[in-house]
Amino acid sequence: MKLPIYLDYQATTPVDPEVFKTMAPYFTEIFGNAASRNHEFGWTAESAVEKARAQIAHLLGATDKEIIFTSGATESDNLALLGVAELYREKGNHIITTPIEHKAILDTCHHLESKGFTITYLPVNEYGQVTPAMVRDAITPKTILVSIMAANNEVGSINPLAEIGKVCKEKGVLFHTDAAQAVGKIPLNMEEMGIDLLSLSAHKMYGPKGIGAIYVRRRNPRVRLAAIMHGGGHERGMRSGTLNVPGIVGFGKAAEICERTMAAETAHTLRLRERLWAGIRKELDDVYLNGHATERIPGNLNISFAYVEGESLMMGMKELAVSSGSACTSASLEPSYVLKAIGVGEDLAHTSIRFGLGRFTTEEEIDFAIAKVVKTVKKLRDLSPLYEMAKEGIDLKSVQWTGH
């Protein structure tokens, strides 16, 4: 077992060796530009791109013409929101989303607000989910788009996409989902779920970084998007720029592997996640699960450890690569906006750790992680007067702290 142990699979995943092997020739031997239509180098590159497009479409229950390549889910999110906003402005200026979306959605929404769009941020329940009824009630004659993530990147909770899709269809409103955390982990089908636009990223599913895609529905309804990158008219005019052929080939292979191994992988990851959670709970009191207990992506475990500061906890277990609930947006020591939105108090939000498990996580690593977490939490709590007071039955909320 090698240290440190990687338990941050929601941040990124290692490239699968099979993916890497498939990509390798496209850097040196098969290096053509997929847009070069005059010779064999271009044709070979183009056919590799089309094969990958079909592999990704198959995973999503879509057709290959509905897959548009981008640099990643952030760009796809921008293209979905800005592209719809520009082309459907005649119809309306209202967009519905949630306050716990990825920053790629939230920051784009704030930008649109400055351009005169109205954004409704639906409140989420204590698990970080929205209900179809809430979506239905928020739709107005001016609504052009509903954008709700498939699974949350911090707490892992999954939204009822098919039911939300049905509401959007009834109301004639486009439905976009940021599915970066969900693609390849849970079954998704564009037709069955009534999804019109979907963002995905290769590096969250054992493919390379810097390549992503957006699914754009072609019929019932045919979705049109204004481009946000101009020049050359690549990707059906929606996304110009020379295609990243090695990245696309790797992305396609990653999608094929995910489709083939999803059931087995889900079972493997779930078993390890339950082992980690059970192991921690057995040894520690005052630990709380954030997000839905069952309706969550298999590899996500987000826990608050009361009376322990998340940053100190991470410092104390340097052998584990995990992420904390306060530093999720890099330099800020504000508690995570996701945890705040689902009603986790400030104290607990500061004590939360996200464990991300995946394809290459082993039982041995999980057992090491349990021991390390338990030992570190116990040590920090021994140093904490708060923990001692709480154990003595003192209600910390009623304590009058004297200032200096």
d(CA 187, CA 270): 15
d(CA 132, CA 140): 15
Which amino acids are annotated catalytic?
Answer: 328
What is the bridge-based pairing of β-strands 212-216 and 287-290?
unpaired
HEC profile of the chain: CCCCEECECCCCCCCCHHHHHHHCHHHHCCCCCCCCCCCHHHHHHHHHHHHHHHHHHHHHCCCHHHEEEECCHHHHHHHHHHHHHHHCCCCCCEEEECCCCCHHHHHHHHHHHHCCCEEEECCCCCCCCCCHHHHHHHCCCCEEEEECCCECCCCCEECCHHHHHHHHHHHCCEEEEECCCCCCCCCCCHHHHCCCEEEEEHHHCCCCCCCEEEEECCCCCCCCCCCCCCCCCCHHHCCCCCCCHHHHHHHHHHHHHHHHHHHHHHHHHHHHHHHHHHHHHHHCCCEEEECCCCCECCCEEEEEECCCCHHHHHHHCCCEECEECCCCCCCCCCCCHHHHHCCCCHHHHCCEEEEECCCCCCHHHHHHHHHHHHHHHHHHHHCCHHHHHHHCCCCHHHCCCCCC
